Structure 1
Amino acid sequence: MSGPVLVSTDLDRTLIFSPRATELLGGGLPRSVVEVHEGRVISEMADVVRDGLAELARFPAAVTVVPTTTRTVRQLQRIDLPFTPRFSIAASGGVVLEHGRVDEAWSRDTAARLARCAPVAEVRVVLDGLVEAGVVLRAHTAEDMFCYGIVDPARFGPEEVERLTAQMLPRSWRVAHQGTKVYALPDALHKAHAIAHVRDRLAAEAGDVPALLAAGDTWLDAEMLELADRGWVPAGSEISRSGPPPWPRVTLTASAGHAAAAEIVAAWHEAVLGAGEQARS
């Protein structure tokens, strides 16, 4: 490898899958439980993916794998990853962890950007109103940065998303609907912002900008995939349902589910040897 590499990857439905997601997407492979909550299996990872990630983390070179998720810090820390990441990104880019501790400098930068959007408490009032109206089943606030609601997909469709978006736009917030969840996020909150911060940190240490490899399945990963030198989107994902990925350096996997995750990790292994040159070309 001729230069450092940063691998930024979403987790849910990219590398790990709930039993229900496995049933829906197929691509089943021998797998192990990586997350249990209140006695219930939440997530599984294919054994070949687990082994591949562990091997990638042991590469005798500057390869940094960064889990990058919309999950809260507590939800992220429930996952039994096959390696101990130096950096992790939670709350859709709102929190950067280094060796498990919050990067306070990044938190200050994030707070300054969020101050330009409506406060999270104001948006939570809107979601609570939808709960009272029976449109949303339950509402939650994540890391005091964004909100999400649990919905019935059969009753919460494009019209509800459009109405909620109309209320969010004047507040400089946006809406993302994914199955049983609807997210309301400030415009200032993106995974790509946090990835750029980690990339700058690594570049300062190495004296060279790391090539960025990325993978994600939903439009919340869009800016991250657009930023990447090479990216991957799983077949059967939210992004794939809109057609081919709209970014020239992003590849759609041939398989879905756990098989897609295996395909992505194998591609990272192949790309790592030459990715350093790609970042500088």
Structure 2
Amino acid sequence: MILFTSDLDRTLIYSNTMMQTYPIAGDVVPVEHNEELIRSYMSHDSMELLKQFSKEHLFVPVTTRAVHEYERIHAIARDINPKYAITTNGGNVLIDGKPDLEWNKIVKSRLSEQSQPKEEMLRTFAKIRHESWVLGEYYVDDLFFMFRVDRELVPRGELAEFQAELAPMGWSIFLHGRKLYVLPTCLDKAYAVQYLQTFVEYDLHVAAGDSMMDYAMLLEADYGYSQTHGELYEKQPNDEKVIFLNGLGAMSTEELLRNILELNVVR
């Protein structure tokens, strides 16, 4: 059996903008609605391949989204209905749709031991924060911050200094598109996957993700896939530890799913 831990946005599912940027010839299907608006899509073939994979193997969605944002992706959360899911950048492990309390205890313990309180981080951030480039603030599932930013106006030098100050405080940052994530360092998708691996049975671990926030998870897997439309390829195009897919957008997802369905699980 293959354990497939996969990021969602820009790895399996795509916004309308991404679908327009990388159009496909085949049909597309809505996979996420919010306030009656379609927020995300998959190609029809990708959806069918993912359903096939989920019947034969163990698919675990792994996302930085909050729990309620993951639940909006009805085609995955409800239709495929995976037994396990990881949300909040590893902060929550869902089993049959409910947070695993044992993992929550582990996360809280690590946060108290390894990271300074969020108030200390915010005081440090206040030195460089300005309304000209910080457009919104969100505290995600009481675990980390996501700031919407004007990417063109982000003061890169000051941000690098902020990152250096955060390291000994047990916090880290990721600038991903128009989002600036500020997270406790111990909050990582890879740690949640490691926890899951202690009680699920599988023969081969495959991981996929497009950003630096997925990188540790990819390194932990037997096969780590990423897209050339993603941040990881932009920053580390020659990384020999990652298998970069040839397709772009939804076509890369079809390529990914076909590849892992053809993998020989005998090790």
Normalised by the length of structure 1, the TM-score is 0.87
Cross-structure match for 1:234: 227
Cross-structure match for 1:206: none
Summarize the alignment of residues 86-125 of structure 1 with structure 2, pairs less than 5 Å apart: 86-115=83-112, 116-125=114-123
Q: How many residues align?
A: 263
Structure 1 residues 129 and 77: alpha-carbon distance in aligned structure 2, compared to 1, 3 A threshold: farther
Structure 1 residues 161 and 96: alpha-carbon distance in aligned structure 2, compared to 1, 3 A threshold: same
CA contact (8 A) 1:96 1:106 kept: yes
For 1:100, the aligned partner's letter is G
Cross-structure match for 1:141: 139
Cross-structure match for 2:151: 153
Q: Deviations over 1:1-50 (max 9, x none)?
A: xxx32100000000101011223345564211111212332111111110
Cross-structure match for 1:35: 32
Summarize the alignment of residues 175-254 of structure 1 with structure 2, pairs less than 5 Å apart: 175-203=173-201, 210-244=203-237, 246-248=239-241, 250-254=242-246
Classify the secondary structure of the residue corresponding to 2:20.
Answer: helix
Structure 1 residues 164 and 30: alpha-carbon distance in aligned structure 2, compared to 1, 3 A threshold: farther
Gaps of 5+ in 2: none
Gaps of 5+ in 1: 204-208
Structure 1 residues 171 and 121: alpha-carbon distance in aligned structure 2, compared to 1, 3 A threshold: same
Cross-structure match for 1:258: 250
Classify the secondary structure of the residue corresponding to 1:85.
Answer: coil
Question: Percent identity, aligned pairs only?
Answer: 27
Cα separation, 2, equivalents of 1:17 and 1:36: 12
Classify the secondary structure of the residue corresponding to 1:55.
Answer: helix
Deviation at 1:213, TM superposition (A): 0.4
Aligned counterpart for 2:59 among listed residues 56, 65, 81: 65
Cα separation, 2, equivalents of 1:210 and 1:135: 47
Cα separation, 1, equivalents of 2:103 and 2:212: 23
CA contact (8 A) 1:13 1:257 kept: yes
Q: Deviations over 1:72-92 (max 9, x none)?
A: 000000002141100000011
Classify the secondary structure of the residue corresponding to 2:153.
Answer: coil
CA contact (8 A) 1:226 1:247 kept: no
Classify the secondary structure of the residue corresponding to 1:275.
Answer: coil
Measured on the aligned residues, the alpha-carbon RMSD in Å equals 1.9
Cα separation, 2, equivalents of 1:86 and 1:230: 22
CA contact (8 A) 2:228 2:245 kept: yes
After the TM superposition, list the runs of 4 or more consecutive aligned residues in structure 1 that deviate by more than 6 angstroms. Answer: none
Classify the secondary structure of the residue corresponding to 2:206.
Answer: strand
Classify the secondary structure of the residue corresponding to 1:11.
Answer: coil
Normalised by the length of structure 2, the TM-score is 0.91
Cα separation, 2, equivalents of 1:247 and 1:194: 24
Cα separation, 1, equivalents of 2:188 and 2:240: 17
Cα separation, 1, equivalents of 2:151 and 2:23: 21
CA contact (8 A) 1:35 1:79 kept: yes
CA contact (8 A) 1:70 1:93 kept: yes
Deviation at 1:132, TM superposition (A): 5.0
